[in-house]
Chain A
């Protein structure tokens, strides 16, 4: 199997999808000729032509709004928002339109679109290049929300998202684009070429939406994580020596509740971790579901490790980012309870 970075895997997913289905179109700001500011669409315009992959005006609502119209026609647009931090001008189109068109038209019109957006921090991106807005989408009925944590999943999940009949918000942790990152920012970063999850199947491959995966089996505590935090969770497990089970949720909506419940019932303890701010973050939903479904198996309160309830700062990057130290502390706390 070829080794790929997450960028290459994402580009490959679009390449494969465009090759298989001529209704797949790709557009966004700087996505066409230039190939994207993160290179995720490099070469696609050259290969498929300007009618299939093209540059868009700087208008997020325009990008998503036209994609919705294209989907109503019968195309399968896979569009890019340059940073998740800039999706808000398109929020009305996503929430009021994309998510509801199937429902409100009783299935006459559907919206099989994918909205890709680089998300997350850990890159000194400051306030508007670091946000994790997933909770703003998991609260919306009719959307699917996906966050891959490695090249293998990124390709399989993106192809699944493009083939999915419903609108999918596809959040790409940009901190993981070139290599796994476990939050130990003082250590050298390894590239995906040195990681087994950089092995990406050639051609068509899918990873089902709505299915979590266990990244590390353990018996002491369950860590629920996604995106960059999967690698932080593995690091914290190693740092503490606590035999944690690490679940990579992959899809936040719809959520793989069965996998979560099975793990927490086994371990009796649970820590939820995400980069996004704490209050009303997706972690609150996870904690609520765990207490509802695993109450009699819990031996400690469910803990949450998250970004602080502040805008994402610049200079204080590593005070803000929920790294292995903070997660380790939470793990120890849960084990002592």
Chain B
């Protein structure tokens, strides 16, 4: 029964606001291992219910269970753990660097490390990601030099983007990482176009699009689903549902009405939901969707269910709109701790080695930071030339820009 409507406009509200007791009782969490793994050539019509469940591999005891388990070796998982720890340490240092005035802006991945780190392991050289600003794990797990990430964040003289871009809007073509845009959702449809191009050329390379829960409300999301489905594009369309779009809870993007994954059903796309804090599950689902795309079977929509533990950005204070301790109550836990516990349970990792690894990872990040700071930070040391500001608007500088550059005296 639907409640009798009261007067006025209905506006969804999160269950809890600051000062309240965090409550995720409405998030239905299926048992690990309970969701079946269909063949990649499954008819999307036969797996519609998967859009309403959550694929999970790691159980409460840290065991890998069910049909989605076993896609990665212990060595690969240890490497994955290191990637996530590196991203977390990187985040912490860059967050601090922003507070110290070394850069203007930063955005963390806290709690979402598994999504981009594990997904990257399912991609192959030549494939292309179209990321948002919260998938730096694609670079970390893809062995992109951390110093170059920092140079970009510092807009220093070694910034690969020559100081033109806001911090964290990386671009790394050789690492399958498309240029990040500040405009939300735009890259989701571009990923589909890239994949269509690959199909046009009879290529086996695939693309992956990325979008957050909030940005699914953008028109680009809708367009991407239509085009991906119409042309059976070899693309994996990833929705990272971290429950929050700055201060607006996912219900404002109409989360809670079905699921975000379920939006793919109306377009005839196979739609999977996965535990975004379960490194093994993310990898297994990514591998499934990537394989499907590479075999020419078409696009897959994947919703990663996770939680944005950190502030939206260094310009945001989440205690103004959600309980301070909400992330502690998140039922899917912490991706780093869950993978760590799994590896300990497997007998290939220990608490001591984890502590040691944390120290090593931090050392690596700090030495990269020192290296980057030799090239300058936003307000000190080396900086990109003002001449660079006029370059690259076009392949060749047109006369009016040459005149302006002369006027600027550079």
Query: Which residues of chain B from 332 to 347 have any CB-CB distance to chain A below 8 Å in the complex?
Result: none
Contact A65 B223 (CB under 8 A): yes
Inter-chain CA distance A19–B196, complex, in Å, is 20
A94-126 toward B: CB 8 Å interface, digit per residue (1/0)? 001100111111111110000000000000000
Size of chain A's interface in residues, with CB distance under 8 A? Answer: 45
Determine, out of B93-101, B280-288, B296-304, B393-401, the stretch whose residues face the partner at the interface: B393-401
Q: B160 contacts which chain A residues (CB < 8 A)?
A: 106
Q: A258 contacts which chain B residues (CB < 8 A)?
A: 399
Contact A72 B178 (CB under 8 A): yes
Determine, out of B181-189, B314-322, B358-366, the stretch whose residues face the partner at the interface: B181-189
Contact B393 A103 (CB under 8 A): yes
A69-B207, A73-B197, A108-B171 known; A93 and B186 CB under 8 Å?
yes
A61-B219, A210-B398 known; A107 and B392 CB under 8 Å?
yes
Contact B395 A61 (CB under 8 A): no
Answer whether residue A66 sits at the interface, using C-beta atoms and an 8 A cutoff: yes
A101-B179, A210-B398 known; A69 and B193 CB under 8 Å?
yes
Contact A96 B186 (CB under 8 A): yes
Answer whether residue A52 sits at the interface, using C-beta atoms and an 8 A cutoff: yes
A178-193 toward B: CB 8 Å interface, digit per residue (1/0)? 0000000000000000
A102-B393, A102-B394, A104-B179 known; A72 and B164 CB under 8 Å?
no
Closest to A164 in B: B395
Closest to A51 in B: B200
Task: Identify B219's interface contact among A89, A100, A165, CB under 8 A.
Answer: A89
Task: Identify A65's interface contact among B162, B195, B198, B220, CB under 8 A.
Answer: B220
Contact B393 A141 (CB under 8 A): yes
Contact B189 A66 (CB under 8 A): yes
Contact A103 B164 (CB under 8 A): yes
Answer whether residue B169 sits at the interface, using C-beta atoms and an 8 A cutoff: yes
Answer whether residue B261 sits at the interface, using C-beta atoms and an 8 A cutoff: no
Answer whether residue B81 sits at the interface, using C-beta atoms and an 8 A cutoff: no
Contact A254 B186 (CB under 8 A): no
Contact B171 A109 (CB under 8 A): yes
Q: How many Cβ-Cβ contacts under 8 Å join chain A to chain B?
A: 139
Task: Identify B395's interface contact among A51, A73, A75, A165, CB under 8 A.
Answer: A165
Q: A210 contacts which chain B residues (CB < 8 A)?
A: 398
Answer whether residue B165 sits at the interface, using C-beta atoms and an 8 A cutoff: yes
Inter-chain CA distance A59–B197, complex, in Å, is 18
Contact B189 A257 (CB under 8 A): no
Size of chain B's interface in residues, with CB distance under 8 A? Answer: 46
B187-208 toward A: CB 8 Å interface, digit per residue (1/0)? 0011111111111110000010
Contact A72 B400 (CB under 8 A): no
Answer whether residue A57 sits at the interface, using C-beta atoms and an 8 A cutoff: yes
Task: Identify A61's interface contact among B169, B178, B189, B201, CB under 8 A.
Answer: B189
Answer whether residue A36 sits at the interface, using C-beta atoms and an 8 A cutoff: no
Answer whether residue A70 sits at the interface, using C-beta atoms and an 8 A cutoff: yes
Inter-chain CA distance A103–B163, complex, in Å, is 11
Inter-chain CA distance A73–B173, complex, in Å, is 10
Contact A257 B399 (CB under 8 A): yes
Closest Cβ of chain A: how far from B263's Cβ, in Å? 16
Q: A67 contacts which chain B residues (CB < 8 A)?
A: 193
Contact A68 B398 (CB under 8 A): no
Q: A166 contacts which chain B residues (CB < 8 A)?
A: 394-395
Answer whether residue B217 sits at the interface, using C-beta atoms and an 8 A cutoff: no
A102-B395, A105-B171, A105-B179 known; A61 and B194 CB under 8 Å?
no
Q: B171 contacts which chain A residues (CB < 8 A)?
A: 104-106, 108-109
Q: A246 contacts which chain B residues (CB < 8 A)?
A: none
A106-B164, A254-B398 known; A59 and B227 CB under 8 Å?
yes
Q: B173 contacts which chain A residues (CB < 8 A)?
A: 105, 108-109
- Sample of 16 further A-B pairs with CB below 8 A, known A73-B197, A89-B219, A165-B395: A59-B227, A65-B192, A65-B193, A66-B190, A68-B193, A69-B189, A69-B190, A69-B191, A69-B197, A70-B197, A92-B220, A104-B169, A108-B173, A254-B399, A254-B400, A258-B399
Measured CB to CB, the residues of B under 8 A from A are 128, 130, 160-162, 164-165, 169, 171-173, 178-179, 181-183, 186, 189-201, 207, 219-220, 222-224, 226-227, 230, 392-395, 398-400
Which 8 residue pairs of A and B lie closest in terms of their CB atoms, listed nearest first? A69-B193, A66-B193, A65-B189, A254-B398, A62-B223, A73-B197, A69-B190, A105-B179
8 A–B pairs (Cβ distance < 8 Å), ordered by A: A51-B199, A61-B223, A72-B193, A104-B181, A142-B393, A165-B394, A254-B394, A254-B398
